[in-house]
Amino acid sequence: MTVAALSAAEAPLQASPRAVSRRRAVRRFKLSLLAPLIALFAFVLMPVLLLQLYFSVHQWTVYLGSWWDADYIGLDLFKEVLTDPRFGWAVLRSLAFATGSTVGCFVFGFLLAYLMHKPFRGQAIYYIIFILPMLTVPVVVAYTAEMMLYQSGPLNDVITRLSGIEFKPSWLSDPHLALMTVSLLEIWNWTPFSFIIMLAGLTAIPKEPIEAAEILGASKWRIFWEVQVPLLRPVILLALVLRFLEAMAEFPKTWSLFQGGPGSATETLPVYIFMTTWQYFEISKGAAMSYIVMLLMIVIVLFAIRLLRREKRSLDKMYEQTDSPKVEA
Amino acid sequence: MAMTKSQRRRITSGVRYVVLSVWGLMAFFPIYWIISTSFKLDTQWFAWPPYYFPSPPTLANYMNVWFGAEEYAQTQYAISSQKPLISLYNSTVIAVTSTFLSVLFGSMIAYGVSRYRILSEARMFQLLMLRMIPPIVIVAPLSLYYTAIGLIDTRFGLILVYFLTTLPYAVWMTKSFIDEVPLEVEQAAEILGASRWRTVFEIVLPLIRSGLVATFLFILILTWSEYLLALIITKTQVTTLPIELSKYQGSTEGRVYGRQAALAVGITVPLMIVGLIIRKHLARGFSFGMVRR
Amino acid sequence: MARIELCNLEKSFGAVHAVKDLSFTIEDGEFVVFVGPSGCGKTTTLRMIAGFEDPTSGEIRIDGRVVNDLEPRDRGLGMVFQSHALFPHKNVAQNIEFGLRMKNVPPEERVKRVREVAEMVRIGHLLEKMPSQCSGGESQRVALARTLVTNPSTFLLDEPLSSLDAKLRRELRAECDRLHQALKRTFIYVTHDQEEAMTLADRIVVMRLGEIVQIGSPMEIYSNPVNYFVADFFGSPSMNLVAGEIVQANGTARFRSASFDVALPDSFKAAKAGAVTLGIRPEHVGVTLGSGGDIELPVRLVEPLGKDTLLYFDAGVERAFVAVTEGLGMAEIKAGERIALSFDRRRIHLFDGDGLRIAGAR
């Protein structure tokens, strides 16, 4: 078969006769990609947010009749919530819990990641063991804790045997310890998160700057603080920010294990909102509270997003993602 | 006395193994404990001193919890309902369906963002709010809304809200994979006559197949273990496994650790298997694709 | 059959003005090469013709029909990409077959056509392989076959050879040439390699900073560059360009630089005095052992290439003044020797302060 034969043989397959207007087609295509998101917003998220607004300015509980003719009471509920000391304590508890557990996760996660970032024998096994806590259903974590933490339970027993000193804190019933217990559980549960993020960050750091520093005679300590930590800044912030936000929302463990008790020692924001709404059935107060928390969280999240946007850019640079040309912007 | 380099290295390495092993034990001990408890006879659940090994190991807890087998029930700890299997079915259907929707539509959106910028960078970050704002703030109005439109206590209701709340993960994670597909490959398909949809389904999605699988399994982890939304939306009729497990809490039957453990192991093992399969992609998933390996 | 007209084409990416008011017609069956340094707008132009970029303003016509608002697939074009852009999850046969499938060609017909085209570019033995198992050259042949099989009216080639090594590049260049001869289709080829442009093109379009600098046959471009940029861009080794000034003395014009002084041909008799750049290609500089040339310069380096020998002279500036001599006769010359050089006067170019060529009177 020669080239000439082919060229002579057939007429070119010409442009299809039904030539679509490109601009219209692109617009339609973009819209159909976005349609599910728009639908979700319109039919799920918007009604819910509107209802929440409605309930936070109307007085209604389930004992009253139909919710649509509840009394309008303006901002009274917001005033009530903001002057409620229990709410103030819940905010503080949540912040303390989130901060404490985030720092804990980060410190342990980073330490483990640093010890693991160079290959060694058994690395894969350690990696698998280390991520297991993260792959445990949060409710299961709570029940496991219950089985292990009662006063004469295995944890205290193990520590007593190992140290030889009587060790009998009541993790579950001492109001001074309860919030710490949940924080420790959160740390146990989510250190793997910080660990995998930091490990991914550490292994992605280019080797050259570290080797260059080594040749220039820098100690491990100096290299860590002056080369690795600055290069890791985006990853570090990412690990802290995401963990903090997740911890602010923590509910399954706190609720399953303590239901806010003992006393009100573990009454974090999610728990308090849940109790107000589903135990005292003060739907309206719950809604007002939710609204305030939502606004608070939006402020925190917007701040977090600003951080993340900046850090994502430096991360993308680190992965040397060359800008692929975008079509039809 | 100065150490040689190899001595120092041996010490460093020794310290590393010690620290890692200590943490490994701490990480693994609770998991070991719940597994061993699930094989213990009822007299050993709460004994002093604690039983560190089930002796002899028994399958009674599993048989009783999962299959309601009475003959394995011992005295007052019998739980005769067969709810866990129904919950298992519910959990599976809900998690798989919502995850599938999330990944399917999420990857479409991600494609649009990556190639057509249907969402600006700012919008993409705003999308993250769906995930970052605690779900507790919307559950009350959500449950009332669901009551009004008849979705309360239905599988579809839960699927829909899981679809919504996992969408940010799906979009961000699949986008990080789509960004790695060279644009020229798509354009080659386009100029050879493929329509836009055809290019997506025949070129782009097959190319990020492994990424899609990873995203699917990752989101499956989230939907499988979700607690709060399930607690409120599906309280009576269609319980999922985490909710089923929580029903053993505070039951009048006393502490039924062995039964709970058998149920908990059943819930967690599939999750661990899935998680270990995609262990290389977990960092990418949890960081919304911002950290890659 | 395709005649492609570009009318006042403009493209901006935000603040970057990538293509500026470009008008040009590509005749049916012509082999046109767009050439220029990176960022000159040549690839953007090609991508606008293909339909991957929307022009900011202006029109693209194919056979008289405005195609601005047509999908790439409806323009009847074929494109070969720099990265080959094979579908990595399909084997070679499936890759080639893709375009036929999109046009709903029946399966038996498809198999036949794939075979034919594969034979044509000599990859018949690769059909069952995956793209990852193909070498760079093979991949590019597959990419060619994939485009050929749809029998497009026009072939767009975007730096198709730049990822290949020198030997393969020559081989595939010949292949492109052969295909063009045989198919008699329009070829639009983008490259930054002037040698590729020279060997392949019927017409070359030289671009720089988004604008067309010169259009012409390879010979025209080579021997009559319109400005300093074109003169410098084409030819290897490139043209000698020496800054200096024109001095009028006794009715003749002379060129004077820091290191030499040479009489200009009569055609430049009327040239205005002032700063200019003199250009002359290395092959138009004669080397004579002994005296009697136009100028005399010290040798900096001798580079024997086998067939030719390149002589680099010190002209008082960083860039060496180069002359080509045939054979190895001059290979023994030592650095530092002063050698007499004579210019082929008719081949002297002068460029003014703005880089534009000063036309000599004929």
pLDDT in tens, B138-152: 888 898 899 888 888
pLDDT on residue B250: 53
pLDDT on residue A20: 60
My answer on whether C189 and C290 are in the same domain is no
Specify if C201 maps to a domain. Answer: yes
> Chain A contacts of B292, Cβ < 8 Å?
200, 204, 319
My answer on whether C10 and C110 are in the same domain is yes
| Portion of chain C with pLDDT greater than 70, in percent | 98
Q: Give residue A82's Cα distance to chain centre.
A: 26
Q: Give residue C343's Cα distance to chain centre.
A: 27
Q: Is the pLDDT of residue B93 over 90?
A: yes
Would the CB atoms of C74 and A21 count as touching at under 8 Å?
Answer: no
Question: How many C-alpha atoms does A20 have within 13 Å on its Cβ side?
Answer: 14
Specify if C162 maps to a domain. Answer: yes
A208 phi/psi in degrees, rounded to 5: -55, -50
Domain end: C201, C225, C249, which one? C225
Query: Residue C337: which CATH number?
Result: 2.40.50.100
| Mean pLDDT within C102-118 | 92
CA separation for the pair A183, A320 (Å, rounded):
38
| Mean pLDDT within B82-106 | 90
pLDDT on residue A315: 80
Name the nearest CA neighbour of A189 among A257, A125, A272.
A257
**Span B282-292, pLDDT tens digits:** 888 888 888 87
Q: Give the residue on A whose Cα is nearest the Cα of B292.
A: A200
My answer on whether C177 and C326 are in the same domain is no
Would the CB atoms of A251 and B27 count as touching at under 8 Å?
Answer: no
My answer on whether C219 and C276 are in the same domain is no
Query: Residue C8: which CATH number?
Result: 3.40.50.300
Specify if C172 maps to a domain. Answer: yes
pLDDT band of B191, cuts 50, 70, 90: very high
| Mean pLDDT within C218-238 | 91
Specify if C358 maps to a domain. Answer: no
In the numeric block, the tokens 């005296």 are attached to C291
Q: Which domains does chain A have, with CATH numbers?
A: 76-318 (1.10.3720.10)
pLDDT band of C117, cuts 50, 70, 90: very high
> Chain C contacts of B188, Cβ < 8 Å?
79, 81, 85-87, 143, 146
Q: Which of A203, A242, A248 sits opposite B293 (nearest CB)?
A: A203
| Mean pLDDT within B171-175 | 93
My answer on whether C137 and C33 are in the same domain is yes
Mutation to test the C interface, candidates A2, A14, A26, A324, most C Cβ within 10 Å: A14
Q: Which residue has the higher pLDDT, B246 or B29?
A: B29
| Mean pLDDT within B243-271 | 78
Q: Is the pLDDT of residue B81 over 70?
A: no
CA separation for the pair A248, A269 (Å, rounded):
8
Return residues 200-229 of B near C (CB < 8 Å): 203, 206-207, 209
Specify if C362 maps to a domain. Answer: no
Q: Report yes or no: B116 at the C interface, CB cutoff 8 Å.
A: no
Kindly list the averaged pLDDT for each block of 10 residues, start to end, along chain A of length 329.
Answer: 43 47 87 93 91 84 70 82 90 94 95 90 91 92 87 83 84 87 94 92 84 85 87 89 92 88 87 90 86 90 88 77 35
My answer on whether C218 and C300 are in the same domain is no
pTM: 0.86
> Chain B contacts of C150, Cβ < 8 Å?
192-193
**Span B15-42, pLDDT tens digits:** 889 999 999 999 999 999 999 988 888 7
Q: Which amino acid is at C207?
A: M
Cis peptide before A206 (omega within 30 of 0): no
pLDDT on residue A228: 86
My answer on whether C139 and C10 are in the same domain is yes
Alpha carbon of C62: minimum distance to chain A alpha carbons (Å):
11
- Inter-chain Cβ pairs, chain A and chain B, closer than 8 A: 279
pLDDT on residue C295: 84
Domain end: C176, C204, C225, which one? C225
My answer on whether C259 and C114 are in the same domain is no
pLDDT on residue C339: 86
| ipTM for this prediction | 0.88
> Chain A contacts of B144, Cβ < 8 Å?
51, 55, 67, 283
My answer on whether C110 and C138 are in the same domain is yes
Name the nearest CA neighbour of B173 among B114, B258, B223.
B114
My answer on whether C199 and C115 are in the same domain is yes
Q: Is the pLDDT of residue C25 over 50?
A: yes
pLDDT on residue A62: 67
Q: Which of C73, C86, C88 sits opposite B190 (nearest CB)?
A: C73
Alpha carbon of A323: minimum distance to chain B alpha carbons (Å):
10
Q: Is the pLDDT of residue C321 over 60?
A: yes
Give the number of domains in chain C. Answer: 2
pLDDT on residue B287: 84
Would the CB atoms of B206 and C89 count as touching at under 8 Å?
Answer: yes
| Mean pLDDT within C222-249 | 89
Domain end: C196, C225, C254, which one? C225
Mutation to test the A interface, candidates C16, C74, C117, C148, most A Cβ within 10 Å: C74
Q: State which residues form the domain around C60.
A: 4-225
CA separation for the pair C145, A1 (Å, rounded):
14
> Chain B contacts of C71, Cβ < 8 Å?
190
My answer on whether C171 and C219 are in the same domain is yes
Q: Report yes or no: B3 at the A interface, CB cutoff 8 Å.
A: no
CA separation for the pair B139, B291 (Å, rounded):
31
pLDDT on residue C361: 57
pLDDT on residue C341: 87
CA separation for the pair A316, A238 (Å, rounded):
13
List residues in chain A touching C: CB distance below 8 A.
Answer: 1-4, 6-7, 10-16, 19-23, 25, 327-328
pLDDT on residue C201: 93
> Chain B contacts of A55, Cβ < 8 Å?
140-141, 144
Specify if C174 maps to a domain. Answer: yes
Alpha carbon of C69: minimum distance to chain A alpha carbons (Å):
5
Q: Which of C52, C74, C153 sits opposite A12 (nearest CB)?
A: C153
Name the nearest CA neighbour of C191 among C204, C178, C181.
C204
Would the CB atoms of B191 and C50 count as touching at under 8 Å?
Answer: yes
| Portion of chain B with pLDDT greater than 70, in percent | 90
CA separation for the pair C257, C278 (Å, rounded):
9
My answer on whether C68 and C159 are in the same domain is yes
pLDDT on residue A250: 92
Residue C67, phi-psi category: left (phi > 0), alpha (psi -120 to 50), beta (remainder) = alpha
Question: If you compute the radius of gyration of chain C from its CA atoms, what whole number of angstroms results?
Answer: 25
**Average predicted confidence (pLDDT) for chain C:** 89
